[in-house]
Amino acid sequence: MRSLKSVLGTALIDEETLLLRSRIGFREVIGRFLAEAKRRAEAAADIELDAVVHGRPVRFVDDDAAADARAERALEDIARSIGFRHVAFQLEPIAAAFAYEAELDREEIALVADIGGGTSDFSVVRLGPERRRRVERAGDVLGNDGVRVGGTDFDREFSLATVMTLLGRGSAMKLPGRAAPNLYFSDLSTGPRSTSSTPRKCCRSSARSAANRRIRS
């Protein structure tokens, strides 16, 4: 999977994907990932961890506050299900700003850009060695914003423009004036999403068959 958090706040969070030969829910996928991170952290620190501060994008979902709240709630529920009793959240660009601030020897105003797999977030923050000693920092955050566009979207567009054309995208079909359906190649370039839908599985099968025929020719 790519950009695990991209399913949060969407209907896909309650769907399934294929893992080896088994179907597994996206909640469990995220839970397994977090449980492994927790296990490794506990092994490295040699203590049991029952509290976590989750990084989160400025917006899980664009222009939908209710869906954004559902996304955070789902992530909190998953964290609690693997053993965390105390769960808090920090915006990812703010966390990055504070990490950068630890290296500063003078005050400055920083624009922080966090380009992830599924989202891009931006914050303007006032930082400095004196400020980092403060417990309350809300007044130092001058602005936050984000969009649900990230590296995975770039990968998809790049794949459609280059790789998929080599596999037959845009090629002519036997029926005059018709090109190979773009849906198959769009679906294939997007990567695994959900296996609960039969048409989606059929699309992937057709795309792979088309690709194989193109390669053999």
Q: In terms of domains, do 9 and 82 share one?
A: yes
Let me know if 4 is exposed, middle or buried by CB neighbors in 10 A (0-12, 13-18, 19+): middle
Q: Can you give the pLDDT of all 217 residues of the chain as single tens digits?
A: 566 777 888 888 889 888 888 899 999 999 999 999 999 999 999 999 999 999 999 988 888 899 999 999 999 999 999 999 999 999 999 999 999 999 999 999 999 999 888 889 999 999 999 999 998 999 999 999 998 888 888 888 888 888 888 888 888 888 888 888 888 888 788 755 444 443 344 344 444 454 444 444 4
Which tokens in the block code for residue 67? 């869906």
Number of CB atoms found within 10 A of residue 116's CB: 18
Q: Which of 38, 140, 155 is nearest to 93 (CA)?
A: 140
Residue 59: give its domain's CATH number.
3.30.420.40
Ramachandran region of residue 16, left (φ > 0), alpha (ψ -120 to 50) or beta?
Answer: beta
Q: Are strands 120-127 and 108-115 parallel, antiparallel or unpaired?
A: antiparallel
* Strand intervals (E) in 106-167: 108-115, 120-127, 141-147
Report pTM. 0.70
- Domain residues for the domain of 51 are 4-91
Last-in-domain residue among 75, 91, 107: 91
Number of compact structural domains in the chain: 3
